[in-house]
Structures are given as C-alpha cells and as structure tokens.
Amino acid sequence: MKAIIVDDEKHVREGLILLADWASHGIDTVMEAEDGEEAVELIQKHRPEIIFTDMRMPKRDGISLLKWIHTADIRSKTIVVSGHDDFELMRNAIHYKSFDYLLKPIEPEILNETLERAVKEWRDHRRSEAEERQAMNEVKPRYWDHLLSTLCRQSSVPPSAEKEFLKEHGRSLVDCEKRIAIFSVKPMIRHVFQGDLELTMFTVMNICNEWLRSKDIGVCFRHTHSDDEVAILLWDIQDAERRLRQLTERIYHYSSVHITMAIGTISTHMHEAYQEALAIHLGRDLTGKEPVVSRTERKSELPHLFDYATELKLLIQAGDKDKLSSKVMTIVDSLYRKQGLTLARLKEWDDQFNLLQSNWLKEYGITLEKKPEGWDYWGRDGSFLIDRFKEGKRKDFLELIDCLSNIRYQKEKNPMQEVEQFLKKHYVEEVSLQEIADRFFLSREYISRRFKQEYGVTITDYLASVRVEKAKQLLSNPYVKIYQVAHDVGFQNEKYFSKVFKKLTGETPAQFRQSLAQ
C-alpha cells in the first residue's frame, strides 16, 4: 500500500513519517508533496490508498485538493492534518468526505489509531450508505457544537453558517426571533456518571435533542467554551418556559437530578440571546428551587473577599484556626443572607482566593500551582448544599495556614535553631565553638552572643543539659554502670560528669538512680 503526505512544512512531513507505524499497517511506500498541485500529479500517477493533507498551503490549498479528490472519484482515504481549529475548514473537510480531521501537534497514539482505522476502512473497499450516514452523524454533532458556540460569541452570522443551518434545520439564524437557555451538568457528573464528563454530556444531549426534535422547537448543543455548559437554541419561542419545565422533568426522569435552566429574552441576534441567558445563569440563586428562571434580581454591590484580606492574613499568620474558621463562616453567611450564592459568586470567590493565596505566598518566595476547581457542592438530587460549600471554603483557608506555617518554619528558621539541632544530634562528641563556627560560616563571637540571646544559656551549658537529660534516661537502667553512662553521653571523666549532673539536678547520679528505685 502507498500513502502520501501533503504539507508545505518539511518538518511536519518528516514528523508524520517518523511517528506513523507504516509497516504494521501494510504501507511500504510513503510519498511527499509540498502543495496541492504536486499532490495531484503524484496521486494521479501512483494512486495512494491513504492521503494526509494540510488545509492551508500555497498554490493549491487543502480545500481545493479535497474538492478535486472528491470530484475525481479517487477512492483513497483522506485524513486532514491542520493546525487550525476552524469550523469553516472542518465544514469543508466534512463536505468533501475526508476520513478524519486531526489537529496539530499530533500524538503518535492518535495518529496510528486513525491510520489503522483508515486502512481498515479502505480494505473494505467501500462504505455502505448506512456506514456513511453513521460516520457523518459522529462528526456532525461536534461540528454543530463548535459552530453554534462560536456564533454565541460573534455579533454576526457568516453566510456559510446561515446556509448550513438553513439546510440542516430549515430555519434561519438571521431573521427569526429566538431564545437561548443554558444549564450546567455539573450536579450530575459525580453522582450519576461517576465523574465521566463525556458520558454525562453524551447522555444529556441525546435526551434533550430527542425531545426538542419531537416538538420541532429547537436544538441543543454543547458550549465548547465551557466544560459543563449545555445550551438550547429555541426557534419556536411560544410558551418557552413551560416547555423547558417539561424538558427538566424528562431529564429528572432519567437521572433523578433536578437541574435549573436559565432562559434569556427574545432576540433576533444569537449572541445577544446567549449573553442574556448567560447573565441569568451566572446570577441565579443556587439555593432556589425553580426549574426554569428567566430573570435575576439586581442588587447593590456586595463586599468582596478582598475587603477582608488584611484581617484574614493576620489570622493566618497567627495560625489561629478557630478564629479563622469563625471569620470565614461569618463572611459566607453575610454573602448568603444578602444575595444568596450564585455561580458568578463561586467563581469570584475562587479567583480572589487564588490571588490572595498567591500574593501571600510570594512573601515567602513560594509559588503554588492553582488548585483545580472542585465545586462539588451539589447533592445527589442536584440541590446546592450550602453547608458543603462553607466547609470547602473553611478547608481552603485552614490548608493555607498549614502551608504558610510549614513554609515560615523553613524560611524563618534562624542559624541558632540549626546550631541547636546540631548540638542535639552530636551531644556525645567533643564539639568546640570553633567547629560550630566553621560549620555554619559564622564567627565564634556572633554564635556565643546570639545563642545566649535565643536560649538564655551558653552553648556549653546547653550541651551539658542535653547530656544530663540523656544520662537520666540511661540511669533508669540499674545494670548500666555510672562510668559507662558518663561515657555514653559524652563525658570522659566520671568525676566531672557527677559534678555537672549534681549542679543541674541537685543530686549525684547515684542519688538520682536511688530515687528512681524508691
């Protein structure tokens, strides 16, 4: 079998040649072409079974090449490889029946999996009409998700998009009045689909589109600019709220989860209809029970987490977990009582917390990766759990206390603390002040002065106290001789050991051992 790679960038062609496992797929010849014109000549001459092509090239681009392959009845399997996630390019790739559309940079696993499928399909010689429809149906939803999501952010509808939509749905995107509804699948992801976002989306989209098609009132699409957002475009706006309530009941029937849809006002402009719905979606009270909301109350500006930054920072630095917990609960209760909690408020809180955390940690020269959004504040039935939210926010701040406490200990640990640890570790040895000074690159005078300031005793007296404490432990064993104890804790002379021991404890080692026996 033969394959050809069409791309104006040499390193891309070389990369595909290296990444693909050609031999295992039965391909023994791989040709290269810099543009569409050269590709046409090679394809006509060698008739390769597999064609990889870029979309944007000089002279003859990928769209023109795909069109030629389609009209020339070339039986090859064409795989588009493009660096552009552009719905216009995807539309052309679908229209001219390319086998797949891969985005650069390409992972070797994806490349070889796609190549394997393409070779297998070519070996079947042809697709049946049913297989063609199935392949188109797999690609189409992604295409429409991308197209409609893009139109939600644009002020105008391109003529090509209007034409495609009119052909697919028999409706105009430009002239008709429309409304858009939005809802989040986040309450379902964990409890119903065990954390599988793709399965959640697939199931919910099927439920919604099946119902919408049966009524011929609109189409549901996954908003590609948001992980968990589903949008519904309604072209039949008559009694929209009642119909959407029916749809939420249908979703509940399948999932046992109550969802809330936010629907915007009527508009002939898609982006305006979407922005209205988004504002309501982000501003709705999460503790509300209405299945469909079409407005939010406009309330006065409320305090932000930033307003409490100084007070929170002092409590964190003091390590006062009880007072910090109480303060966080007070802030949450204040916001909740005044306005209720909204998705916008949740995002605002997390954004401000991440910024405060980043600024506070910078004081210690520490940078932490941003925590992924948990937002697991929903119960099994889809209701928002305010207590779980409060506990989550409290834990965030308590974790910050622990983090700063550990960092502060490491960063603020002064040389005298390190000297103390050294003495505790090496108390058996004859450690001189000069040895300590050399070890920590400090002068003998500085160490003597600072250590006494920190601990209230000289280094000699501190070392003696450490040795005596260790000796007490050994003296509790009546079978160990006193001279052996002296030696084991760093004293070379039993008499001197007894003298130091009595000075610090008021008893000789023998008397101390006797008192233990009594």
DSSP states of 463-510? HHHHHHHHHHHHHTSTTS-HHHHHHHTT-S-HHHHHHHHHHHHSS-HH
Q: Are 451 and 490 in contact (CB under 8 A)?
A: no
Range name among 3-17, 168-182, 376-390, 465-479 with the lowest pLDDT average:
376-390
pTM beyond 0.75 = no
Q: Residue 396: which pLDDT band, with cuts at 50, 70 and 90?
A: confident
- Confidence bin at 384 (pLDDT 50/70/90): confident
Burial 317-339 (b: 16+ CB within 10 A, else e): eeeeeeebbebbeebbeebbeeb
DSSP reduced 3-state for 186: helix
Cis peptide before 105 (omega within 30 of 0): yes
| Beta carbons of 244 and 369 less than 8 angstroms apart | no
- Looking at this protein, which amino acid is placed at residue 153? R
Cβ atoms within 10 Å of 97's Cβ, excluding its own: 15
Q: How would residue 469 be classed by pLDDT, with cut points 50, 70 and 90?
A: very high
Q: State whether residue 424 is helix, strand or coil.
A: helix
**Residue 85 in this model has a pLDDT that exceeds 80:** no
Rounded CA-CA distance 67/50 in Å is 16
As a whole number of angstroms, the distance between CA 333 and CA 390 comes to 9
**Do strands 261-263 and 229-234 pair parallel, antiparallel, or not at all (unpaired)?**
unpaired
Measured from the Cβ of residue 409, the count of other Cβ atoms closer than 10 Å reads 10
**Strand extents, DSSP E, 71-197:** 77-82, 100-103, 179-184
d(C-alpha 113, C-alpha 273), whole Å: 40
Which of 50-59, 305-314, 506-515 comes out lowest in average pLDDT?
Answer: 305-314
C-alpha–C-alpha distance, residues 416 and 108, integer Å: 56
CATH homologous superfamily of domain 2-126? Response regulator (3.40.50.2300)
Greater pLDDT, 395 or 508: 508
Q: Alpha helix locations (H) across 124-185? A: 129-151, 159-169
| pLDDT digits 0-9 by tens, 404-463 | 666 655 554 567 888 888 999 999 998 888 888 888 777 888 888 888 988 899 999 999
Q: What is the 3-state secondary structure (H, E, C) of 357-410?
A: HHHHHHCCCCCCCCCCCCCCCECCCCCECHHHHHHHHHHHHHHHHHHHHHHHHH
- What residue type is 337 in one-letter code? R
- Stretch 82-94: mean pLDDT, rounded? 80
Where does residue 453 rank: exposed (0-12), middle (13-18), buried (19+ CB within 10 A)? Answer: exposed
Q: What whole-number distance in Å separates Cα of residue 12 and Cα of residue 485?
A: 76
DSSP 72: T
- C-alpha 400/C-alpha 388 separation (Å) is 19
Predicted confidence (pLDDT) at residue 495 exceeds the cutoff of 70: yes
Res 271: pLDDT: 92
The identity of residue 446, as a single letter, is Y
The DSSP 8-state label assigned to residue 83 in this structure reads S
Q: Per the structure block, which two tokens stand in for 468?
A: 């005596």
Collect all residues with Cβ–Cβ distance below 8 Å to 71 and sequence separation of at least 6.
none
State the Rg of the chain over Cα.
36
| Cα separation, 417 vs 430, whole angstroms | 20
193 — phi, psi (to 5°)? -115, 20
Q: Which CATH code, of 3.40.50.620, 1.25.40.10, 1.10.10.60, 3.40.50.2000, is assigned to 415-517? A: 1.10.10.60
* Cα 370 to Cα 390: distance, rounded to the nearest angstrom: 20
56: DSSP letter: S
Show me where the domains of the chain are located: 2-126, 167-293, 305-411, 415-517
* Largest Cα span, the chain: 109
What 8-state DSSP symbol labels residue 166? H
pLDDT of residue 43: 93
Give the count of alpha carbons within 13 A of 44, CB side only: 9
Strand partners, 80: 53, 101
Q: What is the mean pLDDT of the chain?
A: 85
* Model pLDDT, residue 95: 84
**pLDDT value of residue 127:** 53
Helix, strand, or coil here: 441?
coil
Question: Could you tell me which CATH class the domain 167-293 is placed in?
Answer: alpha beta
